[in-house]
Amino acid sequence: MVSVAAALAAGHLVAALVNPLASPFLAVGNTAIDLTPHPVKDFAVRTFGENDKVVLLAGMAVVVAGLGVVAGLVSRRGPWPGTLIALLLGLLGVGAVLARPTTTPLAVLAPVTSLVVGVVAFRRLHSRAAPQDMAERRRFLLSTAAVAAGAGLAVTAGQLLTARVDVESSRRGIRLRPQENAPEIPFGADFSREGTPAFLTPNQDFYRVDTALTVPRLRAEDWRLRVHGMVDNEMVLTYDDLLRRPLVERTITLVCVSNEVGGPYISTSNFIGVSLPDLLREAGVRPGADQLATRSADGWTCGTPVATIMAPGSNAMLAVGMNGEPLPVEHGFPVRMVVPGLYGFVSATKWLVDAELTTFGAFDPYWAQRGWGKKAPVKTMSRVDRPKPFEKVRAGRFVAAGVAWAQHTGIDRVEVRVDGGPWQQATISTEVNVDTWRMWRVELDLAPGGRTIECRATDRTGHVQTNDRANPIPDGATGWHSIAFTAVTNP
Ligand SMILES: Nc1nc2c(c(=O)[nH]1)N[C@H]1C(S)=C(S)[C@@H](COP(=O)(O)O)O[C@H]1N2
Ligand SMILES: [Mo]
């Protein structure tokens, strides 16, 4: 176990010097995320929520420690079985690092270091592991403790070295002054007192979905965006180049395709950024380029329909800020994409570093390679936020509330019914713009007993939210959200 720890720690330290994502432990974890079958990933997210990554790392630590124990137990007669296991684990690390999309030529030094340290540490400790007397026993325990301490030091040094990329001070140094501020959110834009979310989501509460085991750490000063492919003028932009362009602030609701009906992954922010269509016009999109393929610093890829971005009034942007601050690191600092009307997986690239004009035929992004759709406009949807499932509420007058969304189309109407009865029109909140969610509330008169409430939205095109059930995969769930609850006389 100590040898395995030493191997991983040494690799982690070398990775901190050459490329933090080349740490064998993290590379194996990231590869595991990419290879995990969709139902398992879904289960992990449902069960552990935003702690899923911590759980994965802890699980890996347990497995690796277990392998260390097995390697020790099968090596009681001689060092070869354990050496072989150390070698195989080392090769697994090398393979995982080489398979990462972010691998740089020097990156392979990290897992190779792990491999060598793992094998050497195991052989050295093993050669002292059959003590004949007290002195030898002490020497064995001391060298084991020394290797363990060295591993601890290496991990700490690695973490400190990674932290030298001072993202927080880069972030703190930035002042964003949009030329055009988003209009004030009107009073009555939410029904938060009646159980809906607040209209604007505080940054720390904004939902987070991504495949990054460790958040990419990019300083604004070092950031570059390359715009290339089917364009007339290839461009390389710095963060300052971006801030010299007109900065606008827009209120936009972002939603994840992975939501089951009634799911939680939706939030709204005042995004500050620059116009993406203007930028692409400057680059000169060639005829036939129908997909904008974007890539993040950690190698995740995304494909967005060029037509959606370039449509008049699309409000698509390269965002640098949320709610007046530079983007939080976990939401894509320094620069991310936002395209109202599309689910995040086909539009909202965080830690954006590369944009290539291409075609849908020529390139499949990360999720398309795993069976998800290539075009995924947001589906008209609504959700009940009050009552909560199985809540006991007072019979008689009761106010139910929730949210509805059809980004870039707008919500026209929300209806609610109880126990399959007649649809009742809900009051909807003051509209902020068509790119945001809209809250609803309705007064009900409830007879005591078990009840079921359902809601459905109608969007600006007159389309009524369908009750046909569809799974999130490939391009978004459909169906009416329904909540079972109980009305009681004495709650
Ligand atoms: N680099 C990167 N960007 C990404 C993703 C990712 O995995 N990696 N996930 C996307 C998905 S699926 C969604 S729903 C949104 C979520 O953005 P948020 O975490 O800021 O809410 O980011 C998108 N951008
Ligand atoms: Mo998503």
CATH code where residue 429 lies? 2.60.40.650
Torsion of CA 98, 104, 105, 109, to 10 degrees: -70
Length of the chain: 491
Question: 387: Cβ below 6 Å to ligand 1?
Answer: no
Note the pLDDT of residue 265. Answer: 96
* Residues 39 and 111 placed together within one structural domain of the fold: yes
Domain end call among 147, 162, 177: 162
Question: 155: Cβ below 6 Å to ligand 1?
Answer: no
Q: Distance between CA 470 and CA 229 in Å, rounded?
A: 36
Which segments of 211-273 does DSSP mark as H helices, in order?
A: 239-243
Quote the DSSP letter at residue 222.
Answer: G
Residue 175 resides in a domain? no
Question: 363: Cβ below 6 Å to ligand 1?
Answer: no
User: Of 362, 397, 326, 55, nearest to 170 (Cα)?
Assistant: 326
Domain end call among 162, 180, 205: 162
* Residues 386 and 346 placed together within one structural domain of the fold: no
* Residues 322 and 397 placed together within one structural domain of the fold: no
* Residues 200 and 338 placed together within one structural domain of the fold: yes
Question: 295: Cβ below 6 Å to ligand 1?
Answer: no
* Residues 15 and 152 placed together within one structural domain of the fold: yes
Residue 263 resides in a domain? yes
Ligand 1 atom closest to Cα of residue 331: 20
Q: What is the token pair recorded at 298?
A: 């950690």
Quote the DSSP letter at residue 464.
Answer: B
Residue 168 resides in a domain? no
Question: 53: Cβ below 6 Å to ligand 1?
Answer: no
Supply the DSSP string of 398-438, one letter for each residue: EEEEEEEE-TTT-EEEEEEEETT---EEPEEPPP--TTS-E
> 140 C-alpha vs ligand 2 centroid, how far in Å?
51
User: Of 401, 398, 402, 400, nearest to 382 (Cα)?
Assistant: 402
What residues contact residue 241 under an 8 Å CB cut-off, 6+ apart?
none
* Residues 348 and 199 placed together within one structural domain of the fold: yes
Note the pLDDT of residue 162. Answer: 84
229: region left, alpha or beta (phi > 0 left; psi from -120 to 50 alpha): left
Mean pLDDT by 10 residues, the chain (491 residues): 95 92 91 84 77 87 92 93 94 93 89 96 90 87 94 93 87 95 96 98 96 92 97 98 97 97 97 98 98 96 98 98 97 98 98 98 96 96 98 97 98 98 98 98 97 98 98 96 95 59
Question: 296: Cβ below 6 Å to ligand 1?
Answer: yes
Q: Answer for the pair 18, 24: CB distance below 8 angstroms, yes or no.
A: no
Note the pLDDT of residue 15. Answer: 94
* Residues 210 and 120 placed together within one structural domain of the fold: no
> 244 C-alpha vs ligand 1 centroid, how far in Å?
26
Question: 207: Cβ below 6 Å to ligand 1?
Answer: yes
Overall number of domains in the chain: 3
Residue 126 resides in a domain? yes
Residue 184 resides in a domain? no
- Of the listed ligands, the closest to the CA of 209 is 1
User: Of 402, 470, 460, nearest to 435 (Cα)?
Assistant: 460
Ligand 1 atom closest to Cα of residue 206: 21
User: Tokens 């505080």 label which residue?
Assistant: 202
Note the pLDDT of residue 148. Answer: 95
Residue nearest to atom 13 of ligand 1 (CA): 344
User: Of 34, 10, 35, nearest to 24 (Cα)?
Assistant: 10
Q: Answer for the pair 56, 44: CB distance below 8 angstroms, yes or no.
A: yes
Ligand 1 atom closest to Cα of residue 267: 21
- Of the listed ligands, the closest to the CA of 322 is 1
Domain end call among 370, 390, 416: 370
> 302 C-alpha vs ligand 2 centroid, how far in Å?
11
User: Of 119, 111, 137, 112, nearest to 79 (Cα)?
Assistant: 119
Strands 266-275 and 248-255: antiparallel
Q: Which residue segment(s) compose the domain that 295 sits in?
A: 192-370
* Residues 198 and 346 placed together within one structural domain of the fold: yes
Looking at residue 287, which CATH number applies to its domain? 3.90.420.10
- For 159, what's the count of Cα atoms within 13 Å in the CB-facing half-sphere? 6
Residue 264 resides in a domain? yes
* Residues 329 and 407 placed together within one structural domain of the fold: no
Question: 370: Cβ below 6 Å to ligand 1?
Answer: no
Residue nearest to atom 9 of ligand 1 (CA): 210
* Residues 155 and 222 placed together within one structural domain of the fold: no
Residue 6 resides in a domain? yes
Note the pLDDT of residue 491. Answer: 59
Residue nearest to atom 4 of ligand 1 (CA): 349
Residue 173 resides in a domain? no
CA angle 154, 159, 165 (to 5 degrees): 135
- Can you say whether the dihedral through the CA atoms of 295, 296, 302, 305 is positive or negative? negative
* Residues 363 and 393 placed together within one structural domain of the fold: no
Q: Best mutation site among 100, 210, 265, 342 for ligand 1, i.e. most ligand atoms within 8 A of its Cβ?
A: 210
* Residues 135 and 253 placed together within one structural domain of the fold: no
Note the pLDDT of residue 44. Answer: 80
